[in-house]
């Protein structure tokens, strides 16, 4: 069924990451293509419920339209839907009853931004967390173990606007429960070559051998060098997202059912998620979602071969950072299709626009996302459906 609201908004997503570098929720940002346009909150909640059903994982809604947010707060969202409420809306006494009702419904409310004046007393219990942008954080320069005079926080806070590892560590040092987004570029530049390299080496060798069509026994012998990797592979292949009707109990069984092309796809996925460095977990999160999203964009209009290639393109799009090598050097050892090579090495070719759109939905708002979608002759509705399908599939892999 067509959901009309998806034609008038752009969806983008980012992780909510705790101090253990675990992704504890997804932040879904909803931007209106035309500010002030009438949008159906119940339709948006219907679309969201397909990805985050009642009793499932949590999603934090960052609604950029005041009208849509006001309507959504009154539309009875599921309890696992967290709602970010800007301070100016929270300060309005007219909104007290609806915020109290949301709290009674089990929804978590997050106060977004520092209020210009004290909130009404009745409102304070409605908020479990606050979202404080690093730029506006009055405690950002305090020394560890010391509190800034006159700055007290009665509820836990989540930090946004973090751009570097140092800022992230400082935020957690000040007591942040989580950060929004992830400083991918800085994580990669400061990580160094750490644990996880043996896994990656085995995976690269497996991909080479699969690409060459070597005998199953030779592939099995390589995999047995890393039992942890073998477990990971079985876990992914047996996940609901893979869509198999029987449980796969061995690597040989996997190859018999899957064939080499499909196996190579999942080895590529594991290659992007092999690092044991905790700071790399959100980078892996981004890689997997890029691959799934690009595959969803191609959809039924693309051939099976094209869907597989754009998936690998997205999953591999951060490998240069994970391996600390430029793509032109890295892809000498990892065989990829020519169109994937063009996108990753030369920022050109037929898959480059899909990769640009994948990057846009991680950080940008409606006009930018719409511009990239139009370049691919895609509508916002098609793009949004791909975003929601991506988050559904990615959730099944976790």
What pLDDT sits at residue 364? 79
Given a contact cutoff of 8 angstroms between Cβ atoms, the answer to whether 229 and 307 are in contact is no
382, part of any domain: yes
Give yes or no: residues 334 and 256 share one domain. Answer: yes
Give yes or no: residues 73 and 206 share one domain. Answer: no
CATH number at residue 92: 3.20.20.450
Give yes or no: residues 167 and 207 share one domain. Answer: no
Give yes or no: residues 176 and 206 share one domain. Answer: no
187, part of any domain: no
Token code pair at residue 41: 């909150």
Give yes or no: residues 53 and 103 share one domain. Answer: yes
> Structural domain tally of the chain?
2
Give yes or no: residues 164 and 214 share one domain. Answer: no
Give yes or no: residues 234 and 304 share one domain. Answer: yes
Q: Which domain holds residue 24?
A: 4-182
191, part of any domain: no
Give yes or no: residues 118 and 206 share one domain. Answer: no
What pLDDT sits at residue 231? 62
The last residue of a domain, from among 182, 211, 246: 182
Give yes or no: residues 290 and 156 share one domain. Answer: no
260, part of any domain: yes
Nearest one of 272, 306, 292, 253 to 204, comparing CA atoms: 272
385, part of any domain: yes
Residues with Cβ < 8 Å from 301, sequence gap 6 or more?
none
Given a contact cutoff of 8 angstroms between Cβ atoms, the answer to whether 361 and 11 are in contact is yes
The last residue of a domain, from among 117, 151, 182: 182
Give yes or no: residues 282 and 340 share one domain. Answer: yes
Query: Which DSSP state fits 370?
Result: H
Give yes or no: residues 126 and 229 share one domain. Answer: no
Radius of gyration of the chain (CA): 22
204, part of any domain: yes
Maximum Cα interatomic distance, the chain, rounded to a whole number of Å: 71
The last residue of a domain, from among 182, 210, 240: 182
C-alpha distance from residue 84 to each of 137, 153, 172 (Å): 18, 18, 21
Please give the average pLDDT of every successive group of 10 residues along the chain, which has 398 residues: 87 93 92 83 95 92 94 95 96 94 96 85 91 88 59 80 90 94 70 47 80 83 70 69 68 75 78 70 82 90 85 86 81 85 96 96 89 95 95 76
C-alpha distance from residue 14 to each of 11, 60, 98, 242 (Å): 10, 10, 27, 24
Give yes or no: residues 89 and 209 share one domain. Answer: no
190, part of any domain: no
């Amino acid at each position: 069924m067509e959901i009309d609201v998806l034609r008038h908004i752009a969806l983008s997503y980012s992780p909510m990451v705790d101090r253990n570098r675990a992704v504890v929720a997804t932040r879904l940002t909803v931007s209106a293509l035309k500010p002030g346009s009438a949008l159906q909150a119940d339709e948006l909640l219907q679309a969201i419920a397909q990805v985050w059903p009642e009793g499932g994982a949590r999603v934090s809604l960052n609604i950029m339209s005041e009208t849509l947010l006001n309507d959504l707060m009154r539309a009875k969202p599921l309890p696992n839907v967290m709602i970010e409420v800007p301070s100016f809306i929270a300060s309005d006494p007219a909104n007290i009853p609806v915020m109290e009702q949301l709290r009674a419904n089990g929804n978590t409310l997050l106060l977004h931004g520092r209020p210009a004046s004290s909130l009404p007393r009745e409102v304070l219990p409605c908020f479990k967390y606050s979202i404080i942008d690093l730029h506006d954080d009055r405690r950002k320069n305090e020394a560890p173990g010391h509190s800034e005079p006159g700055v007290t926080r009665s509820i836990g806070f989540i930090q946004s606007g973090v751009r570097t590892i140092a800022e992230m560590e400082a935020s957690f040092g000040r007591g942040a429960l989580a950060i929004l987004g992830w400083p991918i570029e800085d994580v990669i530049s400061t990580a160094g070559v750490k644990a996880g390299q043996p896994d990656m080496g085995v995976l690269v060798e497996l991909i080479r051998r699969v690409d060459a069509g070597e005998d199953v026994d030779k592939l099995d012998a390589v995999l047995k060098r890393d039992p942890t990797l073998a477990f990971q592979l079985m876990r992914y292949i047996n996940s609901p997202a893979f869509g198999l009707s029987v449980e796969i109990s061995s690597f040989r069984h996997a190859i018999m059912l899957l064939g080499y092309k499909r196996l190579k796809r999942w080895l590529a996925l594991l290659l992007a998620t092999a690092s044991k460095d905790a700071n790399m977990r959100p980078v892996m999160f981004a890689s997997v979602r890029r691959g799934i999203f690009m595959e969803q964009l191609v959809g039924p209009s693309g051939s099976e071969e094209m869907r597989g290639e754009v998936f690998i393109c997205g999953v591999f799009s951060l490998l240069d950072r994970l391996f600390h090598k430029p793509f032109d050097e890295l892809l000498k050892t990892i065989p990829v299709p020519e169109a994937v090579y063009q996108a990753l090495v030369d920022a050109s070719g037929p898959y480059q626009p899909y990769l640009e759109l994948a990057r846009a939905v991680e950080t940008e708002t409606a006009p930018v996302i719409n511009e990239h979608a139009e370049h691919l002759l895609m509508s916002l509705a098609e793009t949004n459906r791909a975003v929601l399908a991506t988050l559904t599939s990615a959730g099944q892999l976790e």
